[in-house]
Structure 1
Amino acid sequence: MMDYSKMGGARSPKNTPKHAEHNAYGSEKTPYGKKDPKAELLARMKAAAGKTAETKKGG
């Protein structure tokens, strides 16, 4: 009997990205030690929520 698993080339590893992301964690744009403070995050979220509320009222 033949062992068909030994035929052909090596199998490529799965779940590997085909390219590096432009904003990958640990790169120049997003260095490892940099974390946004929670207050800034909440302010951005509130501003975004305000913008969506205005567009819903106007439309």
Structure 2
Amino acid sequence: SQDQFNQQQSDWGFMSFIPLSELYDPSRGYLVNDTLIVEVEVRCNPVENGTAETFSVSRHSYVL
């Protein structure tokens, strides 16, 4: 998903990401040993004034 953030567009996130029935379905492979691994990549492209921001990518495990 791509989104642009500025003074006019400050919303972010998803109202719905994945149905829980799909998340808990063992054949989908999202949960392994009751653990969900979420990985996120954030890229910031140069803005109009030529500067850019950089964010680190982190990985988190959640036990359900």
Question: Normalising TM by the smaller chain, what interval?
Answer: under 0.3
Higher strand share: 2
Q: TM-score, normalised by structure 2?
A: 0.22
Q: Which has the higher helix share?
A: 1
The TM-score, its normalising length taken from structure 1, stands at 0.23
Q: Which has the larger radius of gyration?
A: 1
